[in-house]
Amino acid sequence: MTTSTLNHVAYVLRGNLVTAAAAAGTALLIAVAILGPWITPYDPIASNVSIALQPPSFAHWAGTDQLGRDIASRIIAATRLDLLIAASAVSLSFVVGALIGSLCGYHGGRVDRWIGRVVDILMAFPLFVLAMAMVAALGNRVENIIYATALINLPFYIRFARAEVNVRRNLGWVEAARASGNSHFQVVTHFLLPNILPAMAVQISLNLGWAILNAAGLSFIGLGVQPPTPEWGIMVAEGARHITTGKWWLVAFPGLALMLAVLCFNLLGDGLRDILDPRMRT
């Protein structure tokens, strides 16, 4: 990354403290996901029923669950899995959706109309219900959760890329790119896609938050990652059984981690748009 790019990023973050806070929170999440195995104070799946359901203390600052497992260690360990699912699903849906949508918007014609109808049909379904059906049919493995989450995000990228490219395909600089000897595929991938990336940055950031919620929701209803694997949705589901007995920490801390992760990605979108937009550099 060049010095001018770093200066531009710093300028955007200084001008928007909310974006700066969201970027710091996102960086912290990524650091926890990477360093998780080395910073967890206890084994996240080791049980010790003699200390079950203890409230937060100096030894276990987020308390322990019904099996005596340290909640803080499980939250830290779950960060890697939840971010991996979200990043993989959004990357897959973005790459496939942006390419399909751009090609459709550029060429138009019958294929464009057919893909448009397929996208409309997909968006007509309740998206979480569609993800539930996919995972129930394919099995609740991590890769199937990623595929289901990517599929329900796919229509957004197809429609967005199609609309943005359709507006730009007859502009002068696109005509110049074609006249320079570039193939249609090169025009789309080398010129049009990079041009619409800043406009898609907000959608990417929002979808990361939605993907985390989707994975947690599937786990909450028993169709996602299975116990004893640490995952925020599982922890909330297990803690909900004890919430009426006053064991508030079983739900509060995993729910807080989930809320902060989604909030950071949602708030980061506007900052990404400003950072990636070349017009902001002038």
Indicate the DSSP class of residue 51: G
Question: Is the model's pLDDT at 253 over the cut of 90?
Answer: yes
Predicted local distance difference test score (pLDDT) of residue 90: 93
Predicted local distance difference test score (pLDDT) of residue 212: 92
pTM for this predicted structure = 0.87
The SS3 assignment for 134 reads: helix
Task: Report the percentage of the chain scoring pLDDT > 90.
Answer: 37
d(CA 161, CA 197): 9
Higher pLDDT among residues 143 and 5, named by residue = 143
Predicted local distance difference test score (pLDDT) of residue 89: 93
Domain boundaries, the chain: 3-43+67-281
Helices (H) and strands (E) in the chain, counts: 11, 0
d(CA 84, CA 87): 5
d(CA 22, CA 125): 32
d(CA 142, CA 43): 21
Predicted local distance difference test score (pLDDT) of residue 83: 94
pLDDT in tens, 123-166: 887 888 888 988 988 888 889 999 999 988 899 899 989 888 88
pLDDT in tens, 181-235: 888 888 888 888 888 887 787 788 888 988 999 989 998 888 888 888 899 999 9
From 15-19, 83-87, 159-163, 190-194, the region with the lowest mean pLDDT = 15-19
* 3-43+67-281 classified as CATH 1.10.3720.10: yes
